[in-house]
Every structure is written in C-alpha cells, then in structure tokens.
Structure 1
Amino acid sequence: MISIFLQAAAPDTMMPTMIMMGLMFVGFYFLMIRPQMKKAKQEKGFQAALKVGSRVVTTSGMHGRIAQIMEDGVVIETLSGKLKFEKAAISREFTQQRFPDSTEEKK
C-alpha cells in the first residue's frame, strides 16, 4: 500500500516550477525590494533638501540645528557645541516625528 503512494508520476516539464519561482521573485520584489528602494529615495531627497537653520535629529538621537552644510557632511549646532556629521547620519523619520512643522513631505 505504501509503495503505491511513493510512486508519484514524474512531471513532464519544469514549467510549473519555473512559474512558481517567477511568482516568488515578483512577490519578493513588491513586498521587500520596492519599498526599500522607495524609502532610500525619500531619505536621499530629504538629505539633499537640508538647509541651514533646519532642526534635525540624527540616527543616534542627537538633536540640533544645521549651522553649515559642506560637501562631505553638515555641522550641527547642539547645546554642547558644534559637531560635524555625515549627511547620512541625519534621520528623516526621527526628524519628522520630532519636528513635523520644520520638514515638508512632498507627495
């Protein structure tokens, strides 16, 4: 009886497997890759739109105002003085949570 169940018919083609792999790739693209690319694009646009005097929050939680913008980073004025950070260290998400009036989100 068990031998009957173990004798499954071999598939004639690899088409169902290829279709399933393709559907998995499409699913990964729309569920994981595309949202991550959209978020990275928004972050890059936010960093390009920074202006002197804008209040920001870094990814490490440091709050301050932008005192100077340079090619390789920004100088942020905090209560403890002026500190230089990379532009990538400024978080769009944290800044918009803390200072929603100082950042404009384009839709």
Structure 2
Amino acid sequence: MNLSAMFLQAQGGGGMQTILMMVLMIGIIWLFFLRPQARKQKEETKFRDQINKGMKVVTTSGIHGKIQEVGDTYIILEVDGGRMKLEKSAISKELSAQYLPKEDKKSDKKK
C-alpha cells in the first residue's frame, strides 16, 4: 500500500466535514475581514461626495488645510504656504471644531 491510499482510508467519510469546515472558514473571513472593509469604503466614498468649500480637512499624508475649490475629482486646498491641488481621494477626514487650535476657533467666530 502506498502512503496516499493509507491517508484516504484514514479519513474515511470525512468529506462532508471537510466541506463544512471550508464553508465555515470562508464565512468567518467574510464576516470579520471583507464585510467591515466594504462598509468602511462605502462610508469614505459618501464622505468624499459630501466635501464642500470651506471645510477644514486632513489629507492622508497629514496635511491640514481648508478647501477653497471643489471639482469633480480634485480639490484646491489652502495651507499656510499657499494652495495645493489634490485628488479627492487624498482627503482622510474632516477636522471638527473641537480639534482646531484656539486661535482658529477665535478667528472663525470673528468672521
């Protein structure tokens, strides 16, 4: 008897269990990895569609600025040193009022 024949005999009727385990593994991968990633991507797409002029944002590379112009696929971002043209996909998140420095909060109230 060769080794592969002995291995097949040892498994004996376990074909259904193997299929069930594979389905269970695929279900776990979908539940914990693929589904949350798809949800996060949908939220990011929704956020990028709602970008407006005047929003204070942070880019994926960590640049903070204020949006001056919004195009179909790009934005013009005002930073301390001037203006930058970036893809919308480079925007990571919006800065809420609680995270702005105190001087920015005061200057926003005066305007």
Please indicate the TM-score interval, normalised by the length of the shorter structure: 0.7 to 0.9
Match of 2:91 in 1: 90
Structure 1: runs of 5 or more not aligned: 1-5, 103-107
Bigger strand fraction: 2
* Paired-residue identity, %: 35
Match of 2:25 in 1: 24
Please give the alpha-carbon distance, in whole angstroms, between the structure 2 residues aligned to 1:45 and 1:101: 21
Match of 2:72 in 1: 71
C-alpha offsets along residues 17-48 of structure 1, whole Å, 9 cap, x if unaligned?
A: 00000000000001000000000001000000
Count of aligned pairs between the two proteins: 92
- After TM superposition, the structure 1 stretch with the greater mean CA deviation from structure 2, 66-75 or 10-19, is 10-19
What's the TM-score once normalised by structure 2's chain length? 0.75
Instruction: Compare relative contact order (CA 8 Å, sep 6+) and give the higher one, 1 or 2.
Output: 1
Once the two structures are TM-superposed, the CA of residue 11 in structure 1 deviates from its matched residue by: 1.9
Please give the alpha-carbon distance, in whole angstroms, between the structure 2 residues aligned to 1:56 and 1:10: 59
What's the TM-score once normalised by structure 1's chain length? 0.78
Once the two structures are TM-superposed, the CA of residue 55 in structure 1 deviates from its matched residue by: 0.3
Structure 2: runs of 5 or more not aligned: 1-5, 99-111
Please give the alpha-carbon distance, in whole angstroms, between the structure 1 residues aligned to 2:37 and 2:80: 34
C-alpha offsets along residues 36-88 of structure 1, whole Å, 9 cap, x if unaligned?
A: 00000010000000000000000101100110011121000111111000111
Larger radius of gyration between Structure 1 and Structure 2: 2
Bigger helix fraction: 2
